[in-house]
Amino acid sequence: MPSHGVVVGDATPRSAVVWARADGAGTLRVELSGGPPRWIKQVPVVAEDDWTGRVRLNGLAPATRYSYRVRFSPGGRTASGSFRTPPGETTAASVRLAFGGDVAGQNVCRDATEGFPIMDTIRAWRPDVFVGLGDMIYADNACAATGLYGNAQLPGDFGPATDLASFWAHWRYNRADRASRRLLASTSYVGVWDDHEVINDFGPLTDVGSAPPYPPGLHLLPIGLQAFLDYTPVASAPRLYRSLRWGRHLELFVLDTRSHRDANTAMDSPQQPKTMLGQEQLAWLERALARSDATWKVIVSSVPMSIPTGFPTTNGRDGWANFDQATGFENELLHILRFMAENGIDNPVWITTDVHFAEVFRYRPFPDRPNFAVHEIATGPLNAGIFPNRNVDTTLNPEVLFFHGPDTPAAVTNWDQAKHWFNFGTLEVGARGALTAKVYNTAGAPQFSLELDPRE
């Protein structure tokens, strides 16, 4: 039977990828209805993928609500869901996008009664697409019977992941959450990874644990990547960076900020800039941005632009910002933004996470181009520890429009307080191209709203 819900990933006007997991060997069968044509496809599921299966659907109709049913045999048990295909790229249609990251970190896991309650709040907002912006598991953390904020939790049968089986265990725990299953069955999904899908602040040069339980010299990136792809339907897999168009007004440019980065401890300078993206991904991004005629170019980056990250700081900066040491990746970021400014790529919006509080910025990074503005909406956590940080790198000339977090981490002393600070972001683009960005808390109360006109 389907044991951990269903997911439709990377929907396009003509295609989508259906994901489900069985509880043993068998065949995954997908039946689709709701718009022409009707598809019935099937694939085997095997132990090597933790009994997960993916079915690619082609020949779909744009801007169409499809219902689908997943059936595993033997057994015949089913699960169902629905999703909307994006409108064609010339169609001026409205789009509702929700986004967020950071789930089950710092022993803030599935509440014994509510699970991950914010997932139901996101579902109630009825997004056309939900972007899981990274740290959708914490493979290097554990989940105890009592949480960080004193509430009873469903304990996890895992500690820090050191092999494929233990990575899978983290994914099964999060996907078993009822609210998460309801959300993912109701919309399409864009999956992104960040560091905690593997190990804190990792890159290809820093993916080895420094102490037990990690075996000496074991490279965790390939193991974590396999588990991520086993549980995340990515149409371009194994390549994680890609673009997804949602009608005339919106295109997503999904970055992979982990697989190709230089070491965090390396120095960054204009003469020798570090890379977070790698040469191939950077070239792809520039080509994709240059050819896009979408009104809004939304850059999906799992790490923030100006909020300094990286722990401990002696291991270098983990996000784009240098802040107090020249170990960030800001020269590559400046290159990307300068490319946009010089090529008339207007209306860029970055959606980011990782920092466990919400903050919204407007940047005017280049004095010689005062009309070039960039907005960043950093959100999170969806359900993890809360760690406010008022530090901001000034390189991009930031204007802080909103901050959502307590004065200190110690100010959050119970589960109800934590739920107020848990948050997610939304982008709503109207048929005429106006964009409204909002930040909501677990109760669904809007904490901030920003309206942007593409003509300004």
Q: What is the pLDDT of residues 169-196, one digit of tens each?
A: 999 999 999 999 999 999 999 999 999 9
Mean pLDDT within 84-98: 97
**Has residue 337 got a pLDDT over 90?**
yes
Mean pLDDT within 338-357: 96
Within this chain, domains 1-85 and 93-452 share the same CATH topology: no
Mean pLDDT within 419-444: 97
Retrieve residue 311's tokens: 């722990």
Mean pLDDT within 284-309: 97
What is the C-alpha end-to-end distance of the chain, expressed in Å? 52
Which helix (DSSP H) or strand (DSSP E) does residue 239 occupy? none
Q: What is the pLDDT of residue 26?
A: 87
Q: Which residues contact 117 (CB under 8 A, 6 or more apart)?
A: 111, 179, 383, 419, 442
Q: How far apart are CA 243 and CA 253, in angstroms?
A: 4
Q: How far apart are CA 17 and CA 32, in angstroms?
A: 12
For residue range 273-286, what is the model confidence (pLDDT) as tens digits?
999 999 999 999 99
Minimum mean pLDDT among 10-19, 39-48, 170-179, 313-322: which range?
Answer: 39-48
**Has residue 25 got a pLDDT over 90?**
no
Q: What percent of the chain has pLDDT over 90?
A: 90
**Has residue 37 got a pLDDT over 80?**
no
The CA distances from residue 130 to 11, 98, 193, in Å, are: 11, 5, 14
Q: Which residues contact 227 (CB under 8 A, 6 or more apart)?
A: 50, 139, 161, 164, 167, 168, 170, 171, 197
**Has residue 435 got a pLDDT over 70?**
yes
Retrieve residue 42's tokens: 């099937």
Q: What is the pLDDT of residue 2?
A: 60
Superfamily of domain 1-85: Purple acid phosphatase-like, N-terminal (2.60.40.380)
Q: What is the pLDDT of residue 78?
A: 80
Superfamily of domain 93-452: Alkaline phosphatase D (PhoD) (3.60.21.70)
Mean pLDDT within 321-347: 96
**Has residue 95 got a pLDDT over 80?**
yes
Q: Which residues contact 340 (CB under 8 A, 6 or more apart)?
A: 289, 297, 346, 348, 372, 374
Retrieve residue 278's tokens: 């790698």
Q: How confident is the model at residue 149 (pLDDT cuts 50, 70, 90)?
A: very high
Q: How confident is the model at residue 71 (pLDDT cuts 50, 70, 90)?
A: confident
**Residue with token string 């909020």:** 307
Mean pLDDT within 56-60: 92
Q: What is the pLDDT of residue 408?
A: 97
**Has residue 67 got a pLDDT over 90?**
yes
Q: How confident is the model at residue 35 (pLDDT cuts 50, 70, 90)?
A: low
Stated pTM of the model? 0.96
- What residue segments make up the domains of the chain, in order of their start? 1-85, 93-452
Q: How confident is the model at residue 148 (pLDDT cuts 50, 70, 90)?
A: very high
**Residue with token string 């997004």:** 127
> For the chain, what is the mean pLDDT?
95
If you average pLDDT over each of 25-39, 74-88, 389-403, which comes out highest? Answer: 389-403
Q: What is the pLDDT of residue 347?
A: 85
Q: What is the pLDDT of residue 390?
A: 95
**Has residue 11 got a pLDDT over 90?**
yes
Q: How far apart are CA 165 and CA 226, in angstroms?
A: 11
